[in-house]
């Protein structure tokens, strides 16, 4: 077998949907990162199923940097390793999409990644939440598709799964996915050892709860002339892009927290840092659905220990340039681009177009 170059993934690197090669932390193993051999055409071309055919499940689990007990779970059953990889991919793409117009655009190249993970920024909180959410989502869908041999369609007792199979109403197995995700996260070391670990665990649970709360029951009627002689129902997860939007809103409303130690038992709890918006002591404890962070984020405007800054980033003149460029202004250049033009309607709904070379203005931050 050829020697493929290992890429730190935690992180996984992709060039997809016009997004530049980037990395995003997949927070399943505390402060450790997942590593995977990615210099393979199947990864570069987004052919994840081909990876499962190229490498054995045991090899895939070895390629990911997991704790011993997590690796044992990865090897157990067909499809588990593939579902883990799909969860990583999903979290990466969603993070990049949600932050594409932000100063921090979900780019965590070294050495910035390690420095970010040592801090309790809002961005780190989002990464933990989106990671656990994608894990639940990937395994629930994997059960439905038959990819994972340890589970089947939705196992809810109040739903007629036999009829659901018959009529094509196979539901996402949220029950199995939740159980697997919680066990998988519990297998990570350093659980609850310090404030950062406690905050990371809290935000991981936020991601799980968001997926769980966005499950809908879908039903389909079957019968002659549209009558509902037979009705089959199944549970279905929301699209992950919808989950990402909810998590982004929680990120924007995240609370900064401090810790309060109980002198009697030595345990500590989280509470919202006091400000003018918190007047009732009963509201000082963050809810289980609130995203929390420990310290304010840097501006990410200039190159620092946490990011490369925004110099050279492309922006929209009428929308994002002011924010992304941090008041430094922007450069304007022109580049050639082929675009469909001179289109004519051909018999109802078809269009016949030429390709024209046009000048396009591009704006980049100074």
Q: For the residues 240-257, what does the mean pLDDT come to?
A: 94
d(CA 234, CA 215): 10
Q: Is the pTM of this model over 0.75?
A: yes
Torsion, Cα of 98, 100, 101, 104 (10° steps): 90
Q: Which of the residue ranges 292-301, 323-332, 354-363 would you say has the lowest mean pLDDT?
A: 354-363
For 296-312, what is the mean pLDDT? 92
User: Distance (Å, rounded) from C-alpha 359 to C-alpha 355?
Assistant: 13
Query: What is residue 351's predicted lDDT score, i.e. its pLDDT?
Result: 82
Domains in the chain, please, with CATH?
6-254+291-309 (no CATH), 312-366 (3.30.2460.20)
The contacts found for 296-304 with CB under 8 angstroms, 24 or more apart, are 296/121, 296/256, 297/104, 297/121, 297/122, 297/123, 298/121, 299/103, 299/326, 300/102, 300/103, 300/104, 301/103, 301/326, 301/328, 302/326
pLDDT digits (tens, 9 = 90+) for 261-287: 665 555 667 777 766 455 455 567 888
Write out pLDDT tens, residues 42-99.
444 445 555 556 677 787 787 777 778 888 888 888 888 888 888 888 888 898 899 9
Going by pLDDT thresholds of 50, 70 and 90, the confidence category of residue 250 is very high
| Overall average pLDDT of the 316-335 stretch | 92
- How much is the mean pLDDT over the chain? 76
Model pLDDT for residues 1-50, shown as the tens digit of each residue: 343 333 233 333 332 333 333 333 344 444 343 434 344 444 444 455 55
């Amino acid at each position: 077998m050829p020697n493929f170059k290992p890429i730190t993934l935690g992180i996984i690197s992709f060039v997809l949907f016009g997004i530049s090669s980037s990395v995003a932390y997949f927070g399943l193993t505390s402060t450790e990162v997942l590593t995977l051999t990615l210099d393979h055409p199947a990864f570069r071309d987004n052919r994840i199923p081909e990876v499962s055919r190229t490498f054995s499940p045991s090899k895939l689990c070895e390629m990911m940097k997991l704790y011993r007990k997590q690796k044992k779970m990865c090897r157990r059953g067909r499809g588990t390793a593939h579902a883990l990889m799909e969860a990583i991919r999903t979290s990466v793409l969603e993070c990049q999409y949600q932050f594409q117009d932000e100063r921090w655009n979900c780019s965590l190249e070294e050495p910035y990644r390690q420095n970010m993970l040592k801090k309790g920024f809002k961005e780190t909180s989002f990464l933990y939440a989106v990671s656990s959410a994608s894990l639940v989502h990937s395994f629930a869908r994997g059960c439905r598709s038959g990819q994972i041999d340890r589970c089947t369609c939705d196992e809810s007792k109040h739903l007629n799964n036999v009829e659901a199979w018959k009529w094509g109403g196979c539901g996402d197995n949220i029950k199995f996915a939740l159980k697997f995700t919680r066990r998988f996260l519990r297998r990570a070391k350093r659980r609850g050892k310090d404030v950062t670990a406690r905050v990371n665990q809290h935000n991981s649970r936020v991601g799980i709860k968001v997926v769980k709360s966005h499950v809908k029951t879908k039903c389909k009627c079957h019968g002659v002339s549209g009558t509902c002689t037979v009705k089959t129902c199944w549970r279905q997860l929301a699209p992950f892009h919808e989950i990402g939007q909810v998590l982004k809103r929680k990120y924007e409303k995240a609370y900064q927290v401090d810790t309060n130690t109980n002198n009697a038992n030595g345990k500590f709890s989280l509470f919202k840092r006091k400000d003018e918006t918190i007047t009732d002591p009963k509201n000082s404890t963050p809810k289980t659905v609130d995203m929390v962070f420990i310290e304010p984020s840097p501006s990410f405007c200039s190159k620092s220990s946490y990011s490369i800054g925004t110099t050279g980033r492309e922006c929209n003149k009428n929308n994002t340039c002011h924010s992304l460029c941090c008041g430094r202004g922007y450069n304007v250049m022109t580049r050639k681009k082929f675009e469909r033009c001179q289109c004519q309607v051909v018999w109802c709904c078809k269009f016949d177009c030429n390709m024209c070379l046009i000048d396009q203005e591009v704006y980049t931050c100074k």
